A and B are shown apart, each in its own frame.
Chain A
Amino acid sequence: MATAKKAVKKSPIKAAVDAVAAAQPQALPTRCDGPEIDVGIVPLHQGEPVNLRVVLCESAFRVRVHLDGKVIFDQSGLKDQVDILLPPLSPGFHSLTWSFLAASDPWHTRSEVQVSDLVRFALNKGSDSSVPSNNLAVILQVI
């Protein structure tokens, strides 16, 4: 004997509450996302242009860059993105370090070392770091 089940219709407010509770806020990709290439040494030919790009998301930043132990860039209140073209490099090994300081949480960054416009190093960082600043580094080997 089949029993006909009568569907209980939800009240409009209950239907709306359930729809909101079931919906998940969407996490859209940002400019600070992308594939990573975290290498220790970036080889390049002498004369090739080297650009350090730091993409800055969700905060104002201070960025400080050292090349071979000397500060070559230091600016605060930076927004959106900064590109630092390195001076010509002699053959041998060169240390490149950069640090960024975010004014607020959350924050995200994407750092890229571009050699002749090709991304040879890329790393994304976010505010889940243990210190309020992040320091990154790569060794450039000029051949």
Chain B
Amino acid sequence: MRPVRHSLIGPLAVLGALLFSPGAARAQSCSGEDDVSLNQILAEVRAKAIAELTGKQPLETPDSKQITAASDTGDATSLVSGADIPTLFALAAERGLASTSDGKITLNLSPFDVLAALDPQVRDRQSLYEKHALARRFGLSATLGGKGDSFDRDGDGVADPALEAVDLQDIVAWEARVRLSKSSRDRRDADNYKTFFTSISSAFEAQDDRFDQIVVSITKALGTTNPELRSTTNPSCLSRSELQKFLDRPALREQILALAQADVALAAKAEAAAKEVDKKPIWTLVAGVLSRKDDFGPDKRMAAIRGAMGGQDRNFNLNLEWNETDNPGGTKPTMWKAGLEYSVLVLKGSALSADGIKVAGSGAYEIYDNVPSAKFDTVARLNAKLELPVAKGVKIPISVTWANHHDLIEGESDIRGHIGFTIDLSEARKHFLPN
């Protein structure tokens, strides 16, 4: 009986196909139940195979439902309904240019983000995104609101409580940023995506070839030995039960397992390639102005150069900062800060520590000129840290700090002169002496 039934499937399918062709207007997706597409069934078997391989729960099949177009629900803010200030802020928020936190509003006025708000294609189309690479090097923001300083407002010699901003212009903090380095860590930038594609090229090809092999096997079987793979109810789809039987054959199982292995290898390669991009040096110039009405405290200005390079294995950060506060009728308090931090992961993969031992050094130098709250005119600190692994997940942190004034040494358990030491055995004690 069975071969006879199968022999009818071919001509019926061709008849169905002819009836359907070129019926694009009538075409519908396979249901995913009895009738499946190749993409539906392969996503399922693949997720199971990856789960078997990695011991992780299968991830849900990527949702490929159509994203509903944002319709005009009437809730959207409209300029016509009244162009008052809150409405303008809401419009900016709808376009991703305004956010709120702790009772403050931050307006993102960065050139690229404003461009993207006016024309979303700038973010959507890679060609336009690359065209505006220069705009992405500049950032500008304004934060409105917040709390002022506590100071003597009425001249009675006692500090009055800090006031909360009421009007939009009571407290305004402006910040401008310029990325000095042409290189970025944005994977949409040409240099970065070229590096990314090159590093994972062979892993991608291996995965792609394995996927194709499975589809070629199904296609060949459908046209020769296994016409029953086609759904009898919908000739544009495949039969879930027949296809599942076919994919359960040892040869196909092997191909699916090989694809899952290629998936895992590609994911690992992609992660490593992304980490390489994240090591690129970034130099940024930052300038800020805090503008306040008299009742909220004096105006302040700052400028800084920040540098970061390296990744998890080797990391370097530098910060040079200048701050100045207005002081009508007096000398302006000024502060300079320089900070440097370097960390390196050593002996990674060794018998001593598979994860490696983190060694870090940092230094800071600060100058305070006419700053009433500053205890010293200069502050200098040097610190070295090491985390020694003694068991899995158990580390003994060792730290040494030097400072130019002994009372600047904080966080060390033993202080002798200008030097403080710490050997923290608490974690190790908990591990080795649980009671």
Contacts and interface: CB of A to CB of B under 8 A. Distances in A.
B235 A25 contact: no
Given A43-B236, A80-B126, A23 B96 contact: no
A84 interface: no
B396 to A, nearest CB: 38
B145 A13 contact: yes
Query: Which range contains the number of A residues in contact with the other chain?
Result: 35 or more
A101 B39 contact: no
B187 A37 contact: no
Contacts of A62: 197, 204
B18 to A, nearest CB: 6
Given A17-B103, A17-B104, A59-B188, A80 B125 contact: yes
A64 B85 contact: no
Given A43-B21, A59-B188, A60-B193, A18 B86 contact: yes
Given A60-B126, A118-B24, A23 B77 contact: yes
Contact of A103 (B40, B166, B197): B197
A89 interface: no
Interface string A37-50: 11111111100100
Interface stretch (B65-73, B134-142, B420-428): B65-73
B270 interface: yes
B355 interface: no
B46 to A, nearest CB: 8
A92 B65 CA distance: 31
A51 to B, nearest CB: 13
A16 B194 contact: no
B192 interface: yes
A21 B93 CA distance: 8
A23 B97 CA distance: 11
Contacts, number: 269
Interface string A102-141: 0110000000000110111001111011111111111101
B222 interface: yes
Contacts of A37: 24, 27-29
Nearest to A57: B124
Contacts of B89: 16, 19-20, 23
B29 A36 contact: yes
A59 B205 CA distance: 19
B208 A64 contact: yes
Interface in A33-86: 33-45, 48, 56-62, 64, 66, 68-69, 76-77, 79-80
Nearest to B203: A133
B358 interface: no
B38 A138 contact: yes
B236 A35 contact: no
Nearest to A134: B62
Contacts of B100: 17, 20-21
A17 to B, nearest CB: 5
A56 B92 CA distance: 27
A108 to B, nearest CB: 8
A8 interface: no
Given A19-B89, A22-B90, A28-B120, A35 B66 contact: yes
Contacts of B220: 93
B167 A11 contact: yes
B244 to A, nearest CB: 14
Contacts of A103: 187-188, 192-193, 196-197
Contacts of A17: 100, 103-105, 145
A38 B14 CA distance: 20
Contact of B204 (A44, A97, A115, A133): A133
A74 to B, nearest CB: 8
B188 A104 contact: yes
B64 interface: yes
Nearest to A105: B187
Interface in B211-232: 211-213, 215-216, 218-220, 222-223, 230-231
B67 A101 contact: no
A131 B263 contact: yes
A69 B212 contact: yes
Residue among B216, B238, B267 with max Cβ neighbours from chain A (10 Å): B216
24 contacts: A11-B166, A13-B165, A17-B104, A17-B145, A20-B98, A22-B90, A23-B93, A26-B94, A28-B70, A29-B70, A39-B27, A59-B188, A60-B126, A66-B216, A77-B197, A92-B223, A93-B220, A104-B188, A118-B24, A120-B24, A134-B62, A135-B211, A135-B212, A137-B212
8 closest A-B pairs by CB: A43-B17, A19-B86, A103-B193, A23-B93, A104-B187, A79-B126, A93-B223, A95-B219
